[in-house]
Amino acid sequence: MRFPSGLYDIQSYRQSNDKDDLLPHSVRFASRGRASKPFEQVCVAGFPVFLLGFGFSMFNVVLIEPEIPPNTGNIGRLCLATDATLHLVRPLGFSIDDKTLKRAGLDYWKETKVKVWDNFAQLQAANPAGRFWYLTTKCERAYEEAAFQPGDFLVFGRETKGLPEPMLTAHPERCLTIPMTQKTRSLNLATAVGIVLFEGMRQLRVATKTL
Ligand SMILES: C[S@@+](CC[C@H](N)C(=O)[O-])C[C@H]1O[C@@H](n2cnc3c(N)ncnc32)[C@H](O)[C@@H]1O
């Protein structure tokens, strides 16, 4: 089963689901006209799902100043598995050609959609309509409470320092945490990405009932 291809199966969604109130998180489907109409606008939370077939990513994973090559390699593989785009915000603690990074992502690294930015402001300016979620140990709201939408940006901090404090205080309503015991201060970066990214995919799968 491959996540991306299933999302395009709008037809089978339409045949088995015609009540918006069955969907979680107020996910909204715009269904107009006949089901057989090609490329009709069917949306998840306002996002035209068919656009995913034209180079749009379901999710965008943002790593702020990642330091450890194997983490980024693993995350690249997670992004490939979910058709997400990986955004790396400089300064990076490694060269993008780092062998360790490629090894961690195995043969998949070259297929991963990667964008490198000089800073976070540059990324935001290029994606003015983007919805950004900030993953941190320093908030109370659990990640599964968020209603993720296709195209969302999931922002993760650097391995040694986490996300900058001003980024968190500027967007308290968009901060999410992965609840843990107090026996550890944080999760490994790649593990944290995997948990949240696949929760996002789970929500879209439930919403479309096609994946
Ligand atoms: C190794 S952690 C950073 C640890 C750093 N010392 C701190 O206190 O934030 C790297 C990144 O993984 C993510 N992360 C790790 N554990 C998390 C958790 N329990 N909840 C949310 N994000 C987490 C965050 O984005 C964090 O910035």
Q: How far is the CA of 178 from the centre of ligand 1 (A)?
A: 9
pLDDT of residue 125: 98
Which protein residue has the closest C-alpha to ligand 1 atom 12?
189
Q: Is 142 in the pocket of ligand 1 (CB under 6 A)?
A: no
Q: What is the atom index within ligand 1 of the atom nearest the CA of 157?
A: 27
Q: Is 92 in the pocket of ligand 1 (CB under 6 A)?
A: no
> Within 13 Å and on the Cβ side, how many CA atoms surround 149?
18
Per-residue pLDDT reduced to its tens digit, 31-70:
333 333 333 345 555 555 555 555 567 899 999 999 999 9
Angle, to 10 degrees, between the axis of helix 189-208 and the axis of helix 69-82? 10
Q: C-alpha 82: how far from its chain's center?
A: 8
Q: Is 162 in the pocket of ligand 1 (CB under 6 A)?
A: yes
Mean pLDDT along residues 121-140: 97
Distances (CA, A) of 40 to 6, 14, 45, 55: 17, 11, 15, 18
Q: Is 189 in the pocket of ligand 1 (CB under 6 A)?
A: yes
With a cut of 80, say whether residue 86 has pLDDT above it: yes
DSSP 101-162: HHHHTGGGGGGSEEEEESSHHHHHHH-TT--EEEE-SS-S-BGGGS---TTEEEEE-BTTTB
Output 163 or 111, whichever has higher pLDDT.
163
Output 11 or 191, whichever has higher pLDDT.
191
pLDDT of residue 99: 78
Q: Is 163 in the pocket of ligand 1 (CB under 6 A)?
A: yes
**Does domain 59-208 fall into CATH 3.40.1280.10?**
yes
Domain extents in the chain: 3-54, 59-208
What is the rounded distance in angstroms from the CA atom of residue 27 to the CA atom of residue 128?
A: 22
pLDDT of residue 42: 52
In the chain, % of residues over pLDDT 70: 71
Could you give phi then psi for residue 89, rounded to 5 degrees?
Answer: -105, 125
Q: Please, which pLDDT band fits residue 5 given cuts at 50, 70 and 90? A: very low
Burial environment of residue 102 by CB neighbours within 10 A (0 to 12, 13 to 18, 19 or more): middle
Q: Please, which pLDDT band fits residue 27 given cuts at 50, 70 and 90? A: very low
Q: Is 66 in the pocket of ligand 1 (CB under 6 A)?
A: no
Output 206 or 103, whichever has higher pLDDT.
206
With a cut of 80, say whether residue 12 has pLDDT above it: no
Q: Is 84 in the pocket of ligand 1 (CB under 6 A)?
A: no
pLDDT of residue 185: 96
Nearest Cα to Cα of residue 89 among 195, 167, 3: 167
Q: Is residue 59 within 8 Å of 200, Cβ to Cβ?
A: yes
The predicted model scores a pTM of 0.79
Q: How far is the CA of 19 from the centre of ligand 1 (A)?
A: 38
Q: What is the atom index within ligand 1 of the atom nearest the CA of 64?
A: 27
